[in-house]
């Protein structure tokens, strides 16, 4: 008999094991150590007490891990990952797990439920639509296998200096935005990861004209933006080159960056990454449900 319950910190090891098994045949490589997994949960703001596990006896065979916070001015739950291990898929367990979770989220004051799903994962996207989720944005994800020498783009940015930012000026940084980042790349997410992020700024005459943020454990670019009046001058490329070499040298954290969840409506941003040697590897739907 399959049972469902909310989780606690005591379920972390079982959750990590279930996560690795459930995503072992996933299109994207989701392998990560316990430490890396914990850092991912921290970045996303996951609250295990608002997350559900599906169990066959004592064994966790599926999960839905959630974060709670504010999104577009609404109290929102973010699904940071839902999956079933092979052998338990297609049996309606995920639908039952969401049915178990929704009243718990409503009791916690949640009015919106947010998630992302690969556009190629037709089964999952279809399930979410049946559950009442609607598409809000489409994201592009970029990867590169290039040799990151850190030199590309710097020649066009001779008038700017790239250096670390100790304290982000979010009011200024947001003035550089054309859109708004995904949950995993939000301001709250940057603040949550603390010392696990590196922020680089581009300065012209001591004024910040651009910045970039990388989540070091996975070398994910969380944010990168340049003042509109300083674009197409090599500033963004110089920032990208600096971020590419920001991880500890000689480790898996140095090298090509992961560019996650770029809004496909931001054509200039898409073209920027493509011009810097990054290729689209897959897409995602951002979806939301009103509870």
How far apart CA 77 and CA 66 sit, in angstroms, is: 6
Q: For residues 4 and 51, is the Cβ–Cβ distance under 8 A?
A: no
Lowest mean pLDDT among 94-103, 109-118, 136-145: 136-145
pLDDT at 59: 97
Domains and CATH numbers, the chain: 2-110 (3.40.630.30), 142-282 (3.40.630.30)
pLDDT in tens, 155-180: 445 568 999 999 999 999 999 999 99
Q: Taking residues 181-187, report their average pLDDT.
A: 97
pLDDT at 157: 53
How far apart CA 266 and CA 31 sit, in angstroms, is: 30
* Chain centre to alpha carbon of residue 269: 17
- CB neighbour class for 150 (10 Å; exposed up to 12, middle 13-18, buried from 19): middle
Bigger pLDDT: 26 vs 46: 46
Q: Rounded to two decimals, what is the model's pTM?
A: 0.92
How many Cβ atoms from other residues are within 10 Å of residue 74's Cβ? Answer: 13
pLDDT in tens, 192-244: 999 999 999 999 999 999 999 999 988 899 999 999 999 999 999 999 999 98
């Amino acid at each position: 008999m399959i049972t469902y319950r909310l989780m606690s910190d005591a379920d972390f090891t079982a959750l990590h094991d279930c996560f690795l098994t459930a995503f072992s045949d996933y299109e994207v490589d989701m392998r990560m150590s316990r430490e890396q997994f914990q850092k991912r949960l921290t970045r996303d703001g996951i609250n295990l007490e608002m997350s559900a596990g599906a169990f066959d006896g004592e064994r966790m065979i599926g999960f839905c891990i959630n974060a709670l916070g504010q999104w577009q001015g609404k109290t929102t739950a973010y699904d940071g990952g839902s999956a079933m291990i092979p052998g338990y898929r297609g049996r309606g367990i995920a639908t039952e797990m969401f049915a178990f979770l929704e009243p718990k989220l409503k009791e916690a004051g949640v009015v919106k439920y947010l998630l992302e799903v690969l556009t190629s994962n037709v089964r999952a996207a279809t399930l979410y639509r049946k559950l009442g989720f609607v598409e809000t944005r489409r994201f592009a994800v970029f990867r590169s296998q290039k040799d990151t020498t850190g030199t590309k783009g710097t020649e066009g940015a001779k008038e700017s200096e790239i250096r670390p930012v100790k304290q982000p000026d979010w009011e200024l940084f947001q003035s550089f935005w054309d859109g708004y980042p995904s949950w995993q790349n939000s301001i709250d997410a940057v603040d949550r990861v603390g010392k696990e992020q590196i922020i680089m700024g581009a300065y012209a005459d001591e004024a910040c004209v651009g910045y970039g943020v990388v989540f070091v454990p996975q070398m994910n670019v969380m944010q990168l933006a340049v003042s509109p009046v300083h674009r197409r001058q090599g500033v963004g490329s110089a920032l990208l080159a600096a971020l590419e070499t920001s991880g500890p040298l000689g480790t898996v954290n140095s090298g090509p960056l992961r560019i996650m969840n770029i809004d496909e409506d931001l054509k200039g941003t898409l073209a920027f990454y493509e011009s810097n040697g990054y290729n689209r590897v897959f897409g995602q739907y951002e979806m939301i449900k009103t509870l």
